[in-house]
Amino acid sequence: MGKNIWGIWNILGKNIWGIWNILYLCTQNQNVMANIVFERKIYDKMLAWKQERQGKSALLIKGARRIGKSTIVRTFAEREYKSYILIDFSMASKAVTDLFEDLMNLDFIFLRLQSIYQVVLEKRKSVIIFDEVQLLPKARQAIKYLVADGRYKYIETGSLISIKKYNRRICKAGRIFKHILFRFRGYAI
């Protein structure tokens, strides 16, 4: 009996130490791990949108839940623009959502967004991202006017089902360039 227990302990001990070693190595290489970004084919399409449309339309990235829409858009904004504001409507404050109730003073809206998110936006060199846009139909409706203003670029993200559900309530905005993001397509390191 003692031999069997020692054998089990020996196997478990080696596995636990192996797992611990892997975890340790991962924590030591956080910088390396953090810089690995999985790009998708959609990134090239986003670049084409930026170059061809030059701010004349907003980009809508829609797809199933939890497939990386927000991640790829954030990565794109960090790499391709001087600055960006990411407004996640799933957790945006009332101060942010109230800005879309009245679009009469765009200067005030842009100043408030820069103040709330503590980001300085540069005209024609910055992007504003509306993440989970289906949760605030007024923001989706505002895109038409924001794009026409021309100061900044706009990218929207949202779930397929939710956007269809909420679209019934709003006036459809013009000037939208759409891409649908599918799960497990086009990964490259």
What pLDDT digit, counting tens, does each position of 25-47 carry?
556 554 444 444 445 678 888 89
**Listed ranges 21-25, 44-48, 145-149; the one with the highest mean pLDDT:** 145-149
Q: Which residues pair with 90 in a beta bridge?
A: none
Give CA–CA dist 189/136, Å, rounded. 34
pLDDT tens digits, 120-138: 999 999 999 999 998 999 9
Q: How confident is the model at residue 52 (pLDDT cuts 50, 70, 90)?
A: confident
pLDDT at position 184: 38
pLDDT at position 41: 78
Give CA–CA dist 98/109, Å, rounded. 10
Could you give the 3-state DSSP secondary structure of residue 129? Answer: strand
Residue 113 contacts residue 106 (beta carbons within 8 Å): no
pTM to 2 decimal places: 0.70
Residue 77 contacts residue 84 (beta carbons within 8 Å): yes
Residue 155 contacts residue 61 (beta carbons within 8 Å): yes
Give CA–CA dist 90/75, Å, rounded. 19
